[in-house]
Structure formats: structure tokens, C-alpha cells
Amino acid sequence: MAQIKELAFECETGNYHTFCPISCVSWLYQKIKDSFFLVIGTKTCGYFLQNAMGVMIFAEPRYAMAELEEGDISAQLNDYQELRRLCLSIKKDRAPSVIFWIGTCTTEIIKMDLEGIAPKLEKELNIPIVVARANGLDYAFTQGEDTVLAALASRCPKGFPNFVKPPLIVFGSLPDSTVNQLNLELEQQGISVSGWLPSHKYTNLPEIPEGSYVIGVNPFLSRTATTLMRKRKAKLIGAPFPIGPDGTRQWIEKICSVYNIQPKNLVEREQNIWRNLSSYIDEVKGKSVFFMGDNLLEISIARFLAACGMNIYEVGIPYMDKRYQAAELSLLQETCNKNNSVMPCIVEKPDNYNQIDRIYDLKPDLVITGMAHANPLEARNINTKWSVEFTFTQIHGFSNAEEILKAVTRPMKRNNFVVSNNINS
């Protein structure tokens, strides 16, 4: 009988080598359509947002920068009056249902009392002001969304716990088409989703009565999960995340189990998706991948790629909540043992210098990395894929599994094509 291998866990420097979490504004302002996001930071934050949101040039953005000057930082200006002036202008020009204040590194360093100012200003202007800390000192890339949703969770109406069957709330920001797909998958099992957090409009936040069931769609939403359990007394459904056919099936199965529903045709549905992916799987099977760590999707994507037959050498991740990702970690270990493939080491807060040494030693076929390291690695003939692409690509649900494999195979095909052309020339 084969000996069961277990995941190894390590923690290195404690530094976050990730994209800035204030970038969450780029997708959340589009998702919450009656909102306005005010990012309170320096010109550097403004330049970053301009670049990060350059793709939104043809859309009318509902976000702005409250740029901190020397007078703000040296406490010579009145924070309340300055923020009041900006919020009055926003209310007059845009009339949003809610204003989000996104705190940055600078607001942390100079100890701006955003949580103290917001309730007073909210009462004076008669408009909800939600404070979310999304600074790069405390949070990694996608955790910006986590802080916003955790703040929103506290604003959801409580409703009355007089239900026959506990309502189901799904939390996590996904494109509408993916939301519709997941809703439809659950409806086919006889389960209706009572609401999503975030909703399209702040005025339509879902009711979350005590005893509701809640489940996340992304592994970076641990703070939101904790808020829903502690402040709203909701029951968290722990499951792998709906990424890849394996994760999607188990996500739906776990929801069915809490409602005592026997799943219908799920195994067949998963097998059909695997058959449709066979041409991609043939390309990646036996290949190796190394995750440097950036967006906290690493465990889920590694688990899916392991199921496709890839060897996962290392999974770097900026922050690891083992409780929230328990089902995902268990499935990753189970998948590697089932395929008798390499059991990866999970490295929290990895030291990039040490990682590069390990990459040189291991020689993986692909490195999934933040944008800062991609070009230097490519210059050394190492295939890379930007991790940020998995954040902005639709990868959830049965039908989107193909997008993950397209992203993974593209750089390997491209570099193989370049190499073969160089040889032929």
C-alpha cells in the first residue's frame, strides 16, 4: 500500500511581494453600480490607479483620489473638513447610494481616524460612508476586496430568522455571466441563492438573518467569512472553491449536503468537462509548475493543475488562512496522492531571492508570478505567466475551466515556437 504523502508548510520573510490591494477598486466599482470609491492616499497611489485602470478608459469611472499633501501629513489641515468637502462634491455630482473610503499605506502611517470621521460625516451628509482598509502594509493584492466585503457584511440587513429553510448567501465578486452560471447550477439541484455579496446595488444588499448559510467563491475572503460568522451569526459552509471541474463539483456537493439534498448528475457533469479539456490536458500532463505567490488564488489553481497531471513544485502564497482554505488544502493533498505526483511545499510570505534559487535548481516548465519578476525570468529562458491574469479572467465554474488551461499553455507554446524558429534559422 502506497504511503500517503502530506503537504509541507513553511514561512519565510514576512514581506508581501504582490500587486497593491487598492486595485480592487477597478472591479468593485463596476460590480456595485450605485457606488463611489474615494481612495485616500498620495500621488503614488493615484499614478498606480491610473495605470491599473487604463483599460477602463472608455468607461465612466466612479472613483477618485483624495490626494494627501504635506499639510495633511503634518496635521496642519483638518481631515474632517477636507473629506467633507470632497464627499459633498461627490454627492452633488454623482449622487451615489454609498461612498467607500479606501485607506492606503499613508493613512495607516499618519494614523488618520477614518473610522471615527465617517459616522459623523455620514450623519451630516445623509449618505452611507463605508471605510475599508486596503493598504499594502497589511494586505496582499486581492485582500483589498476582502476588506471591502467585510465592511459591507456589517451593513447587510439582518432580517428575521423565522425561515423554514436557512437562506443561502454567496460572497465574492464575480462577473455577471459567472454568477448566472453558478446560480443555474444550484437551481438544477433545487437550491435557490437568496443573495450575493456584493450585490449590484448597495440598496439591494442581501438580508442575512442569524442562522443563514454563507459560502465564498474565492480563497482570499477569509476576513469576510469571519465577519459573517461573528457579527451576523451565519454558518459558513467550508468547501473547495468553484475553480476547475473538481472544485466546482465539490463546492456544489457541499452546499447540497447542508440542505440534505442528493446531488443529481454532478459526477457526469464533471466527467464531461474533463473530456472537453482532454486536448489541453495532453499538453500539460507531466509538466511542472512553480507559484511565486501574488493573488491568493494559488492553492486552488495548483489543485486544479495537479488534477490535470501537472507536478506542482512549490506554492508560494502571500497569506495563508488554513481554516478558511482547509477543504482546498485537503483536496490538493488528496489529488497529488491520487495521481502519485510531486507533493508541493506551501510557502507563506516567500522570500523571492530564495525562490529564484529554487527555480534555478528545480527548472520548472512554468513559473506563475507577479508582473515584477516575469521579464527578468523570461530573459533567463524561464517560461512565465502573470498571476494577475487569473484575477481578471473568468475561471470559476464548470464552463470556465478551459480558461485556466489556455492561460497556462500559452506561454509554453509561445516559447517553444520561438526556440524552434531560432533553431531552424
What does the pLDDT look like over 153-182, one tens digit per residue? 999 999 887 788 999 999 999 999 999 999
Q: How many Å apart are CA 252 and CA 269, to the nearest integer?
A: 12
Across the range 189-205, mean pLDDT stands at: 96
Q: What mean pLDDT is reported for the chain?
A: 90
Is the model's pLDDT at 185 over the cut of 60?
yes
Helices of type H across 95-206: 105-109, 114-125, 143-153, 176-187
CATH architecture of 21-139: 3-Layer(aba) Sandwich (3.40)
Residue 425: band (very low, low, confident or very high) from pLDDT cuts 50, 70, 90:
very low
pLDDT tens-digit map of 231-258 = 999 999 999 999 999 999 999 999 999 9
369: which strand partners?
A: 386
φ/ψ of 174, rounded to 5, equals -130, 155
169: which strand partners?
A: 195, 214
Across the range 287-300, mean pLDDT stands at: 95
The share of the chain scoring above pLDDT 70, in percent, equals: 92
Is the model's pLDDT at 417 over the cut of 80?
no
Across the range 284-289, mean pLDDT stands at: 96
Q: Within 13 Å of residue 341, how many CA atoms lie on the same side as its CB? A: 27
User: Which one-letter DSSP state was computed for residue 219?
Assistant: T
Determine which of 6-10, 66-70, 108-112, 197-201 has the lowest per-residue pLDDT on average.
66-70
Other beta carbons within 10 angstroms of residue 270's beta carbon come to: 21
Determine which of 58-62, 94-98, 359-363 has the lowest per-residue pLDDT on average.
58-62
Measured between alpha carbons, how far is residue 405 from residues 66, 278, 307, 309, 413 in Å? 40, 11, 12, 12, 12
Please indicate whether the domains covering 8-13+274-424 and 21-139 agree at the CATH topology level. Answer: yes
Determine which of 68-77, 242-251, 269-278 has the lowest per-residue pLDDT on average.
68-77
Residue 54: band (very low, low, confident or very high) from pLDDT cuts 50, 70, 90:
low
In this prediction the pTM is 0.91
Is the model's pLDDT at 59 over the cut of 60?
no
pLDDT tens-digit map of 364-378 = 999 999 888 899 999
Other beta carbons within 10 angstroms of residue 373's beta carbon come to: 21
Residue 72: band (very low, low, confident or very high) from pLDDT cuts 50, 70, 90:
low
pLDDT at position 70 is 65
Which SS3 state, helix, strand or coil, does residue 319 take? coil
Q: How many Å apart are CA 414 and CA 220, to the nearest integer?
A: 31
Sign of CA dihedral 342, 348, 349, 354: negative
Is the model's pLDDT at 391 over the cut of 60?
yes
Buried b (16+ CB within 10 A) or exposed e, 311-320: bbbbbbbbbb
Q: How many Å apart are CA 128 and CA 203, to the nearest integer?
A: 10
Is the model's pLDDT at 186 over the cut of 60?
yes
φ/ψ of 402, rounded to 5, equals -60, -35
Across the range 204-225, mean pLDDT stands at: 96
Domain boundaries, the chain: 8-13+274-424, 21-139, 168-266
Nearest residue to 42 via CA among 15, 77, 69: 69
pLDDT at position 145 is 96
- Which has more pLDDT, 315 or 113? 315
φ/ψ of 399, rounded to 5, equals -75, -15
φ/ψ of 243, rounded to 5, equals -120, 120
User: Which one-letter DSSP state was computed for residue 42?
Assistant: -
pLDDT at position 76 is 54
Q: Decide yes or no: CATH 3.30.1330.200 for domain 8-13+274-424.
A: no
Element containing residue 317 per DSSP (H, E):
strand 311-317
CATH architecture of 168-266: 3-Layer(aba) Sandwich (3.40)
Q: How many Å apart are CA 149 and CA 32, to the nearest integer?
A: 11
